[in-house]
């Protein structure tokens, strides 16, 4: 048997759209396919402005520039996340301030944020883990009272919502990922969502190497020139063409993923009742996108044995994250508030199961049987 942990899904239309881009003779960024993708994101999220980038990392870096951070400014975020969440701000000289996660959703514990605020705090970065929304009402309220920017790391959050509002549409800025391990993909890829209208114009400039090229093309200025700091954050049309094929199928992809997620969820009821695993928790006010199916095991030793047992049967399973505040760079560049007890605990016990389009119901049953029958 061979059930890989991930297998990127392709709709079948990607090459056709890439051929169209080829035929159109427009290969650089911001051609017709990029515009279609941006418009789709604006329609689906309600964001004021959506700008495709070459990665979510790039979108986070743009957000960090837009936040106008000075060296020594602080940005509050979970430690249980991917490195880019922190690195984007560190690149601007800011200090990531790590707080603990909630043991249920594994999202930043909103009740710990206020105690982490100092007079250097400029922004909060909630990460929507597994596409399940953070407690955004509480977070936006704290941000408003302390005049902080909220930047959603919605890398995993496309097609999810919190109290009916799409993830990525609630903070001032948000970053999405289209990396091949995410739900909607283009190999590498991402987008910046700008919800604060005051940041929209500068976002375009930063993405276009610090020039007013976008305004020039729209005929709004008569000279195209260097006006701000920036870099090249936009993807090629070939990538946007690929992504457009995925966006067209985004509803169907999400439905299929939810079906697989639910099959796992039903399969592990018994194991959870016997106290062997804890299944994911999704609050009723959060609609998720089945980005991930993860289990919590009783201990690090059990998890190591679990992953090895599945590997013996040809089934791929993985764990993440090394808490950023314990990582070599995080220890020097960031600051932790409190013990981060749940972060340390969860990072030892969480395991992710295969979840990709094409995974069959019988394969999920095989995975269930292997987990139920094997010593781990």
Where does this chain touch ligand PLP (CB under 6 A) — which range of 71-79, 82-90, 225-233, 245-253?
Answer: 82-90
Judged by CB under 6 A, the residue of 45, 161, 169, 177 near ligand PLP is 177
Q: Are 179 and 305 in contact (CB under 8 A)?
A: no
> Per CB under 6 A, does 73 bind ligand PLP?
no
User: What is the length of the chain?
Assistant: 376
Tokens 């929209």 correspond to what residue? 200
Question: What would the two tokens of residue 300 be?
Answer: 């690090």
Nearer to ligand PLP by C-beta: 179 or 368?
179
Reply yes or no: is the peptide bond before residue 29 cis, omega within 30 of 0. no
Where does this chain touch ligand PLP (CB under 6 A) — which range of 55-63, 208-216, 236-244, 330-338?
Answer: 55-63
Judged by CB under 6 A, the residue of 127, 143, 150, 351 near ligand PLP is 127
Judged by CB under 6 A, the residue of 41, 56, 124, 310 near ligand PLP is 56
Q: Are 235 and 179 in contact (CB under 8 A)?
A: no
> Per CB under 6 A, does 153 bind ligand PLP?
yes
Q: Are 368 and 315 in contact (CB under 8 A)?
A: no
Nearer to ligand PLP by C-beta: 55 or 347?
55
Q: Are 288 and 51 in contact (CB under 8 A)?
A: no
What's the min distance (Å) between Cβ of 352 and ligand PLP?
12
Nearer to ligand PLP by C-beta: 189 or 354?
189
Tokens 């009916």 correspond to what residue? 164
Q: Are 247 and 184 in contact (CB under 8 A)?
A: yes
Handedness of CA 297, 303, 309, 315 (dihedral sign): positive
Nearer to ligand PLP by C-beta: 234 or 370?
234
Q: What are 194's strand-pairing partners? A: 49, 173
> Per CB under 6 A, does 288 bind ligand PLP?
no
Where does this chain bind ligand PLP (CB under 6 A)? Answer: 55-57, 81-82, 84-85, 127, 153, 155-156, 177, 179, 190
């Amino acid at each position: 048997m061979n059930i890989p942990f991930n297998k990127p899904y392709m709709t079948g239309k990607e090459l056709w759209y890439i051929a169209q881009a080829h035929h159109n003779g427009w290969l650089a960024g911001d051609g017709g396919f990029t515009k279609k993708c941006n418009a789709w994101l604006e329609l689906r999220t309600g964001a004021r402005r959506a700008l495709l980038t070459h990665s979510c990392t790039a979108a986070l870096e743009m957000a960090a520039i837009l936040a106008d951070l000075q060296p020594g400014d602080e940005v509050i975020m979970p430690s249980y996340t991917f490195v880019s969440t922190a690195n984007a701000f560190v690149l601007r000289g800011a200090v990531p301030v790590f707080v603990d996660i909630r043991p249920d959703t594994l999202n930043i514990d909103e009740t710990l944020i206020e105690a982490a605020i100092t007079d250097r705090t400029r922004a909060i970065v909630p990460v929507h883990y597994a596409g399940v929304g953070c407690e955004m009402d509480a977070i936006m309220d704290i941000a408003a009272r302390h005049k902080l920017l909220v930047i959603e790391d919605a890398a995993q959050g496309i097609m999810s919502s919190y109290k009916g509002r799409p993830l990525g549409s609630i903070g001032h800025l948000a970053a999405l990922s289209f990396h091949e391990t995410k739900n909607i993909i283009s190999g590498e890829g991402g987008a910046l969502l700008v919800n604060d209208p005051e940041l929209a114009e500068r976002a375009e400039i930063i993405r276009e190497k610090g020039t007013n090229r976008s305004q020039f093309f729209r005929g709004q200025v008569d000279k195209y020139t260097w006006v701000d700091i920036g870099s090249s954050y936009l993807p090629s049309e070939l990538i946007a063409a690929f992504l457009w094929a995925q966006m067209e199928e985004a509803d169907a992809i999400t439905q299929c993923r939810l079906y697989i997620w639910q099959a796992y969820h039903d399969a592990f009821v018994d194991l959870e009742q016997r106290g062997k695993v804890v299944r994911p928790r999704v609050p009723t006010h959060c609609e998720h996108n089945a980005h991930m199916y993860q289990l919590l095991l009783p201990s690090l030793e059990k998890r190591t044995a679990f992953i090895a047992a599945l590997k013996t049967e040809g089934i791929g399973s993985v764990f993440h994250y090394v808490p950023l505040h314990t990582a070599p760079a995080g220890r020097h560049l960031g600051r932790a508030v409190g013990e981060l007890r749940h972060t340390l605990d969860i990072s030892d016990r969480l395991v992710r199961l295969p979840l990709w389009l094409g995974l069959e119901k019988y394969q999920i049953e095989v995975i269930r049987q292997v987990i139920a029958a094997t010593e781990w």
